[in-house]
Structure 1
Amino acid sequence: MENFVIHRAGTRGYADHGWLKSSHTFSFAGYYNHERVQFGALRVLNDDYVAGGRGFGDHPHDNMEIISIPLEGKLIHKDSMGNSAIITTGEIQVMSAGTGIYHTEYNADPSEAVKFLQIWIFPNKRNVTPRYDQMLIKAKKPNELYQVLSPNKDDAGVWIHQNAWFNMGEFDTDTNVTYKLNNAADNGVYILILKGQATINGQALDTKDGMGIWAVDELDINAQAGAQLLLMEVPMEVKQQ
């Protein structure tokens, strides 16, 4: 029995609203695919393009961990907790929606588009106090994976209410790296190729291809020069307190 699934970039759901163009790895809004509802605790993985000066008006969330990673440009964020911030390329933003929040997200540039990933993770605790954080993310060494999110407040990157770990990597030369799961007994990993090509456990992936894999202790990764990767280790079963 195969313990992986591959979602090619061109098979994702797609919505074009003019000012917003969004590719959905998993079922979202008007896109539904019963085989692509979620990957474990990973519920939403949207690849969004927002035209200059446009954005998402005030809208609610609750009981979800929401992560935004700008790939190009800047986002203006405002929320009902009183936070107002600009999130730019090279940063990561997290909101624990918990008991409920409202927020807006707009392109900070009046003319140039912003491109960002919108990621939703089911939390392991319901009705927590809402919170917001953002952080600069930077590799410690070139051509290595580096952690940008975890369940631990004192660990590298931002933290969320879930036993999940995110790692990123940019490679300027052909590189072989190994990713060892933090919780191999319960977790799987969903990999998104942000740019370039990589081979994960023998499977060749191209730009914006995604691959979910479970029941493994580690991943063998061959990243080609110019590749950029995002690895999201998440529980395969959603358990909430």
Structure 2
Amino acid sequence: MKTVIHKAEDRGFANHGWLQANHSFSFANYFDKDKIQFGALRVLNDDIIAPNMGFGTHPHDNMEIITIPLKGVLKHRDNMGDQWIPVVPGEVQIMSAGTGVQHSEINGSSKEHLSLFQIWIIPNKRNVEPRYDQKKFNEEGRKNELQTLVTSIDGNHDGSLKIHQNAVISRIDLDKDSTFEYHMKNKNNGVYVMTIFGNHTINGSSLEARDAAGISETDKFSVTTNEDSGLLFIEAPLN
């Protein structure tokens, strides 16, 4: 098993005043030749956005974009529907940019900061018809049990959002002093594990909030918690 550890404090950071952005991989003005991507996983941004602020209308194409609000309320608008749509913690949003889409993302609150993960995954099909979807996932569904959020549009998994890539995104909230074994869905994939909160150990490495580990060259691995922990798993092809 190959394990690459990315500590939270080693991420790229940008302070835009209204936006506090942490970049797990090279993004915008942050560049690290050793952190371009993890296979098809191109971007994992950990953003905090000030009240009433956000990203104005801008374009994307040929990228699968997944947004996971953690605190506050996100409001989304794009040229496929042209209306503001709220996305709150517990919900996940996906957008297949395909041939091209214009969208805006803002903090929908006038008082509370918005905290979210934004994930970009390189698609396995180019120039598809753009599409948008979102879904609510109950917190109880990830209590000491893997909750699948996103899978391939070509697969047959019921209940998950779909993207154009052989990838799986899932979450779990584990109690202290528990062990969980993650099984790869595909032997050619790797898994990028982001610690949302807590403290746990993977392959002898202790990981705290916002620390991450890239796991590859194995079909399974174990997580042992030292305290209550929330984990995000992003499994994606490595080549």
TM-score range, shorter chain: over 0.9
For the pair 1:161 / 2:161, whether they are aligned, the reply is no
Alignment partner of 1:112: what SS?
A: coil
Unpaired runs of at least 5, structure 2:
none
Q: Secondary structure at 2:141's aligned position in 1?
A: coil
Corresponding pairs, count: 235
Aligned to 2:207: 205
| Contact 1:143 1:173 (C-alpha < 8 Å) held by counterparts | no
Structure 1: runs of 5+ lacking an equivalent: none
Q: How far 1:142 moved relative to its partner?
A: 2.3
Structure 1 residue 153, shift from structure 2 partner: 6.0
What is aligned with 1:147?
148
Q: Give identity over the alignment, percent.
A: 46
Listed one character per residue, the Cα deviations across residues 81-129 of structure 1 (whole Å, up to 9, x for unaligned) are: 0153100011100000000000000101011100000100000000000
- The Cα of 1:154 is off from its aligned counterpart by 4.6
Give distance in 1, aligned partners of 2:156 and 2:61: 21
**2:51 corresponds to which residue?**
52
Q: Provide closer, same or farther for how the CA distance between residues 153 and 29 of structure 1 changes in structure 2, counting only shifts above 3 A.
A: farther
Residue equivalent to 1:119: 119
TM-score (norm 2): 0.95
After TM superposition, which residue ranges in structure 1, 4 or more long, deviate above 6 angstroms?
none
Which moved further from structure 2: 67-76 or 134-143? 134-143
Distance 1:153 1:77, change over 3 A: farther
The amino acid of 1:104's aligned partner reads S
Amino acid at match of 1:109: S
**Equivalences for residues 72-111 of structure 1 within 5 A:** 72-82=71-81, 84-111=84-111
The letter for the 2-side match of 1:183 is N
Query: Contact 1:171–1:224 (CA<8 Å) still a contact in 2?
Result: no
Deviation, 1:201, is 2.6
Indicate whether 1:129 and 2:129 are aligned.
yes
CA distance in 1, matches of 2:141, 2:21: 31
1:109/1:59 CA distance change after superposition, 3 Å = same
- How far the C-alpha of 1:166 sits from its partner, in A, is 1.0
Two-structure CA RMSD over aligned residues (Å): 1.3
